[in-house]
Amino acid sequence: MTVDEVRNHFIHELDEVGDLESLNNLKVKYLGKKGHITELNALIKTMPNEEKKEFGQKVNSLREEFLSLYEEKKIKFEEQILNEKLEKETIDISLPATKITVGAPNILEKLIEEVEELLISMGYDVVDGPEIEEDKYNFEMLNIPKGHPARDAQDTFYLEGEEILLRSQTSPVQVRTMLKNKGEVPIRMICPGKTYRRDDDDATHSHQFMQIEGLVVDKDISLSDLKGTIDVIVKKLFGQDVETRFRPSYYQFTEPSVEVDISCFNCKGDGCPICKHSGWITIAGAGIVHPNVLKMGGYDPKVWSGFAFGFGAERMAMLKYDINDIRVFYNTDLRESRVFDRKEAEQID
Ligand code: DAH
């Protein structure tokens, strides 16, 4: 074949070729050992010298033309193969994803944090005390000596003899805080924490529960300071239109002592099952710190005075989130946290 014939052939054949394999075969057909272009090249040797140069150049440019057309085709086929592969291996992102259950914050913790945040903004410290407590702090230094009938209502778990127990209230932290401050500086503290009693568990009793204790010791502290403080807490938790009422009560470590009632946030005083149709709900115990307690805590009652309060954390959460069984907090049933979640969501709406 002449140079022109070879050229016509491969232009036609390259045009027709459909895949990488036949393209490579074509390369062998033209440039292999016995390929058409290779054969043309071999002819050069046999030619008279004056024709060699021109013919050689022709064959050379023919070879270059073939190679450049071949490369062009090769890139096209490779791209095609890659695209087909990518298409085959794409991930179908329209498939529904596996559902991951999202937890909800523990509502007791949430309530406690809400109270803490408020009282910190009012200058209070949040303090901690041991759950394994001494009889001395849990009872005696709170004006409840051995044999006092008030101990009956706070029977608890004893760990070693009669002196080491699981605290039945957070009030011992009052004593510990006073002793730590050595009768010298004013105190403003709250202590949220776990408490224990030997109660049989039912809808309103749990052998483990939480209290939020508060203590203020300063000069000229009065019952109205207590009422104002409680009122701020109550309004924050239950709404601005909720009112606070004090009823006379009795605690050994406060004198006078009060029961703190709030006006029913549900029926606004008309009477409903939440307030047992009285229009009021009892929410805490409180009072003016008893002089004996101040004295035992190292504070001179002639100089210092104070108020204290103790909220039941579960009781507040039960009221706030409309829960009718305290065991919900301790039975680790995950469905319960979803229920509270929904309540929250409704409130946010
Ligand atoms: N510790 C009391 C209880 O568990 C609650 C209480 C009442 C705490 C009056 C106080 C207080 O600080 O002043 O029943």
Atom of ligand 1 nearest to the CA of 307: 13
- Cα(279) to centroid(ligand 1), Å: 23
Strands of 125-126's sheet in order across = 125-126, 187-196, 208-218, 305-312, 280-289, 254-263, 244-251
Closest to 238 measured CA to CA, from 278, 281, 205: 281
CA pair distance 51, 74, nearest whole angstrom: 34
Q: Looking at the predicted structure, is the pLDDT value of residue 128 above 70?
A: yes
Residue 346: the pLDDT is: 59
- Find the mean pLDDT for residues 199-221: 95
Q: What mean pLDDT comes out for the span 32-45?
A: 92
Cα 77 to Cα 63, 82, 101, 253: the distances in Å are 21, 9, 48, 92
Average pLDDT, the chain: 92
286 touches ligand 1 (CB under 6 Å):
yes
Three-class secondary structure assignment of 310-329: EEEHHHHHHHHHCCCCHHHH
Per DSSP, 200 falls in state: P
- Regarding predicted confidence, which is higher, 324 or 70? 70
What element of type H or E holds 251? strand 244-251
Ligand 1 geometric centre to CA of 233 (Å): 16
Q: Left if phi > 0, otherwise alpha if psi is -120 to 50, otherwise beta: which for 220? A: left
Helices (H), the chain: 3-16, 20-31, 36-46, 49-89, 107-121, 135-138, 172-180, 223-238, 291-296, 313-321, 334-348
- Which of 200, 120, 138 lies closest to 174, judged by CA? 138
Angle at 55 between CA 49 and CA 59, to 5 degrees: 140
Lowest mean pLDDT among 44-48, 214-218, 223-227, 340-344: 340-344
The predicted-structure confidence for 294-317, as pLDDT tens digits, reads as follows 999 999 999 999 999 999 999 999
From the CA of 27, how far away is ligand 1's center (Å)?
98
Supply the pLDDT for residue 101: 74
Q: Which of 137, 288, 309, 314 to mutate to test the pocket of ligand 1 (most atoms within 8 A of CB)?
A: 309
Residue 309 CB less than 6 A away from ligand 1: yes
Give yes or no for residue 104 having a pLDDT over 80.
no
**Atom of ligand 1 at shortest range from CA of 215:** 12
Residue of 251, 252, 293, 316 to mutate, ligand 1, most atoms within 8 A of C-beta: 251
91: pLDDT strictly greater than 50? yes
* 345 CA → ligand 1 middle, Å: 33
Residue 172 has pLDDT above 80, yes or no: yes
The pTM of the full predicted model, rounded to 2 decimals, is 0.71
* In 132-222, alpha helices (H): 135-138, 172-180
Core vs surface per residue 154-184: b (16+ CB within 10 A) or e = bebeeeeeeeebbbbbbbbbbbbbbeebeee
Give, as one character, the DSSP assignment of residue 102: P
Q: Name the pLDDT band for 333 (thresholds 50, 70, 90).
A: confident
Alpha-carbon span 122 to 115, nearest angstrom: 11
For 114, half-sphere exposure in the C-beta direction (CA atoms, 13 angstrom radius) is 18
Q: Is the pLDDT of residue 338 over 80?
A: no
Q: Are 179 and 188 in contact (CB under 8 A)?
A: no
Q: What is the pLDDT of residue 349?
A: 43
Q: What's residue 274's pLDDT? A: 83
Cβ 210 under 6 angstroms from ligand 1: no
Q: How far apart are CA 309 and CA 318, in angstroms?
A: 19
The separation between CA 191 and the C-alpha centre of its own chain, rounded to angstroms, equals 23
